[in-house]
Amino acid sequence: MIIHALNDVIGTGREVTGPEWASRRLVLAADGAGFSVNDTVVRAGAEIEMWYAHHVEAVYVLEGRGEVTDHETGAVHRLEPGVLYLADAHQRHTLRTHTEFRAVCVFDPPLTGREVHDERGAFPPPAAQDPAR
């Protein structure tokens, strides 16, 4: 059994930050679960374009309010606690936060822990992330 406490992750190499967000990586590829789990906080008023070309992502909202826009359909979906969205077909999307926002994010294939969004809003393919994997 593996135990990772959020307080033990914050401020370590398992916490990755950007100008508008902090991603605390609780379960990573090295844990061998076949998926990864992040506790992610996004500042109020953020607008982040994302495209997980090589990953499927589920986002379950714990706190805050915002919206996600699906670039393929133009649909805008309201986000609030208790709502989950699943980018299951590698949809390009934009997250806009109205308040500080906190969510649990699950990725398949799992993240190694060092990923950051590139200029397209994507993470690199898993083989390029960690050749030892």
pLDDT band at 24 (very low <50, low <70, confident <90, very high): very high
42-93 pLDDT per residue, tens: 999 999 999 988 899 999 999 999 999 999 999 999 999 999 999 998 899 9
pLDDT in tens, 96-106: 999 999 999 99
**What residue segments make up the domains of the chain, in order of their start?**
6-109
Mean pLDDT of 21-38: 96
pLDDT of 131 reads: 41
Quick one: how far is CA 119 from the chain centroid? 16
* Residue 13 burial (C-beta neighbours within 10 Å; 0-12, 13-18, 19+): exposed
pTM for the model stands at 0.88
Q: Distance (Å, rounded) from C-alpha 110 to C-alpha 49?
A: 20
Six token digits for residue 86: 């699943």
Domain 6-109 grouped into CATH 3.40.50.300: no
